[in-house]
Amino acid sequence: MRRLFWFPILVVFWNLFTIPASSQLVFDVAGGAGSIQQWYAGFWYNPYHDLYYTVKHQYLVRASDMQAAGMPPGLIVGVAVLVRNVSPGMDPRQMTIKFGLTDATQMPLGWNAPFITGLTEVYSNPSFVPQPNQWNVHMFSTPIQWDGQSNVALEFCSYRSGWTGRRAECWITSTNPPVPSFKYRWRDFGNWCNMTTGVTWSYHIWRPVFRFFVQTGITESFPDDVDPRRILRSGEVYDGSDAAHPHPYLKFRTSPGQQLQLTYKIVGPLPSLNPIYIAHETGNPNDTILDYTATGSGEVTFEIPAAKGTAAGQNGALDLSNIPGGSYRLIASYSMPGYTQQWVKDFIIAYANDMSVREVVSPYTNDPPRNFKYPQGVPIDVVAKFQNVGL
């Protein structure tokens, strides 16, 4: 029985070279180059105030502002507003948020002009209270795919059976060039979040700086660093022939018409970074940048079409017939104009009945650093966790 052991010093060394890979990104979207940002304690542009029973705010966020913040197309899964101070004793309010793409280039003009319609409710909280000195985060129950080109509309509506005039102090932005990006409507003595009539403040060029949470790029791969995609058998071929032998792939999010470039290679056994598998365009081993044009929205599973190297099989299969056991690394990338994601995942190629050390815990792991040596001949308890990786 062969055994693969990893010691703490090696684990630390490898982690220094591992680039975190995440498909959820954060972007703070102001009002464009030259816009002015400032704290605001009033109630006009502030979605978190308690001045009326029902307060309905709607904000337009231009695609150009999102692009200027470096935000790529992707699945918008949440939004946040930065708050500094909150009035003492602010009461909970019912809060709902609606969201949607729009071809509107400004808020509808006029005192009684309608709001932007056709939005989807993405957030509901029966007892929301803004929190000071932090981004107040609203994660969506129904994420919305942003195509990278459309403007978006955000609608905040809050209700409480009473009012006090208390409020939060929010971080806001002007729009540049100036464009009507905000309006709100209020009405007392009831929950009027679905109202189309009521007292309306007209449009303005100010709105909060919105923090968007966006899922884009690679979300999964084979191989990966999670079970069962983390452990492969030496001597076998991964060609998609059954569920236990997936074809090498990348799973990523797309929007229609996106022009993407992908790279994919496997190196090892670590600490060696010699490539054993390099993906390339079909029929051209020298072209290791894979071009992809998206035809729809959502997640796509892209199987590697062709590869070269000692672990390259037919039609991009991963052939481990002559590959020794050990730890290996997948290094991939996902690129579009203005954005590149690096995807790095460590995995294991194992022989039958192999075992690896998952964790070693010394008696002093949770203590402050100590400058001492263990005396010779004194037994020291060590806790270790092992995993059978031979499958």
Q: Which two tokens stand for residue 194?
A: 């679905």
The model's pLDDT over 42-85, given as tens digits with 9 standing for 90+, comes to: 888 899 999 999 999 999 999 999 999 988 888 899 999 999 99
CA dist 184 and 1 (Å) reads: 71
Cβ atoms of 127 and 161 within 8 Å: the answer is: no
* pLDDT higher than 60, residue 230: yes
Please report where in the chains the tokens 């102090």 appear, as a residue. 169
Name the strand (E) or helix (H) holding 14.
helix 8-15
The answer on pLDDT for 23 being more than 70 is: no
Q: What is d(CA 363, CA 271) in angstroms, rounded to the nearest whole number?
A: 28
Between 89-93, 256-260, 348-352, 356-360, the lowest mean confidence (pLDDT) is in: 356-360
pLDDT of residue 297: 75
pLDDT at 13: 26
Q: Could you tell me the pLDDT band of residue 162, with boundaries at 50, 70 and 90?
A: very high
- % the chain with pLDDT above 90: 62
Helix or strand holding residue 368 (H, E)? none
Q: For residue 108, what pLDDT band results from cuts at 50, 70 and 90? A: confident
CA distance 223 to 135: 36
What's the mean pLDDT in 242-251? 96
Q: What is the mean pLDDT of residues 77-98?
A: 95
Decide: 315 and 240 in contact? Cβ < 8 Å: no
- pLDDT per residue over 31-54, tens digit each? 999 999 999 998 888 999 999 999
Non-local (6+) Cβ contacts of 331 within 8 A are 263, 264, 265, 266, 267, 342, 343, 344
- Band of residue 223 on the pLDDT scale cut at 50, 70, 90: very high
Does the pLDDT of residue 390 top 60, yes or no?
no
CA 333, 334, 337, 338 dihedral sign is negative
Q: What are the DSSP calls for 17-83, one per residue?
A: TPPP--SEEEEEE-SSTT--EEEE-SSSS-SSB-SSSEEEEEEEE-HHHHHHTTPPSEEEEEEEEEE
Going from the C-alpha of 52 to that of each of 82, 94, 163, 188, the distances in angstroms are 22, 13, 5, 6
Number of neighbouring beta carbons within 10 Å of residue 109: 10
Radius of gyration of the chain (CA): 27
Least confident of 179-188, 258-267, 279-288: 179-188
Cα separation of 93 and 294, whole Å?
42
Least confident of 84-88, 142-146, 353-357, 387-391: 387-391
Cα separation, 271 vs 264, whole angstroms:
19
Q: What is the mean pLDDT of the chain?
A: 85
Average of per-residue pLDDT across 12-31: 57
| Closest by Cα among 379, 380, 328, 381 to 356 | 328
> Looking at residues 208-222, what average pLDDT do you find?
93
Residue length, the chain?
391
Residue 383 — very low, low, confident or very high, per pLDDT cuts 50/70/90?
Answer: low
Torsion 80-73-68-62 (CA) sign: negative
- Lowest mean pLDDT: which of 103-117, 153-167, 214-228, 257-271? 103-117
